[in-house]
Amino acid sequence: MKQPVQLAFAILIMLGIAACAPPTPAAQEPEPTQQIATAEPHYPLTTRTGIETIDQVLIAVAGGDQESLRSLVEFTNAQCTQQDGLGGPPKCRAGETDGTPVEVLSFLGSEGSFLRKDEIGSWTGIAASGIYAVYEVNTAVISSEQYYSIGKYVILFVAEENQPLAAVRIGERGIVRVDTIFDSSPESLRALVEREASTVILTPKS
């Protein structure tokens, strides 16, 4: 009879020791590595809007295809002037009388300028690293001389480093004007979009 009693006593002792032992800590899953969000402040050049006339320009700029970009120019009909000085209509060439109809692509920056249709091969296109915004122009609040077409849509491109930002104005069939924007601060760009847009197609991210 002693052996079963001793065995039972030994089992009780072992159970008591196990009960007093500190619990084994549960395995903890490692915390996921924290990643700082680095959202781009603009849209990549590969972004598309679903509007053909806009997307054709974006494709040409994204691919650095200057020839395709030139083919997308919608020239403006204007009358040349023989008057000297900055601004105003395109200047007449030698042999052209005042008011001669000409086809031009207009540029606006610190000054206005034009490229004739037969000079478009010298245009180097748009150097951009991204897209700031795209919008439809509110023609009710914007006015311009006929030779500086305001267009139907505007693509605000993000410039490459140390270069001014470009606003490409697009008409029914293609590019009608290219503006150089020197103040590219977020406040100034947002004000431009708010002032000119009837519909914002790509909303500014910053």
User: What burial class does residue 49 get, using C-beta atoms within 10 Å of its C-beta: 0-12 exposed, 13-18 middle, 19+ buried?
Assistant: middle
Here the tokens at position 43 are: 């849209």
User: How many domains does the chain divide into?
Assistant: 1
Q: What is the C-alpha to C-alpha distance for residues 170 and 53, in angstroms, rounded to an integer?
A: 7
Q: Would 15 be classed as within a structural domain?
A: no
Q: Would 37 be classed as within a structural domain?
A: no
Q: What is the C-alpha to C-alpha distance for residues 115 and 106, in angstroms, rounded to an integer?
A: 7
**pLDDT bucket at 199, cuts 50 / 70 / 90:** very high
The residue-averaged pLDDT of 112-119 equals 95
The residue-averaged pLDDT of 109-125 equals 94
Q: Return the number of other C-beta atoms located less than 10 Å from residue 113's C-beta.
A: 15
The residue-averaged pLDDT of 153-173 equals 92
The residue-averaged pLDDT of 172-194 equals 94
The residue-averaged pLDDT of 194-206 equals 94
pLDDT of residue 39: 65
Closest CA to 45 of 26, 35, 59, 25: 59
Q: What is the C-alpha to C-alpha distance for residues 152 and 42, in angstroms, rounded to an integer?
A: 22
Q: Would 12 be classed as within a structural domain?
A: no
Q: Would 153 be classed as within a structural domain?
A: yes
Domain enclosing residue 153, as ranges? 52-202
pLDDT of residue 163: 83
Q: What is the C-alpha to C-alpha distance for residues 160 and 35, in angstroms, rounded to an integer?
A: 27
Question: 154, 168 in Cβ contact below 8 A?
Answer: yes
Q: Would 19 be classed as within a structural domain?
A: no
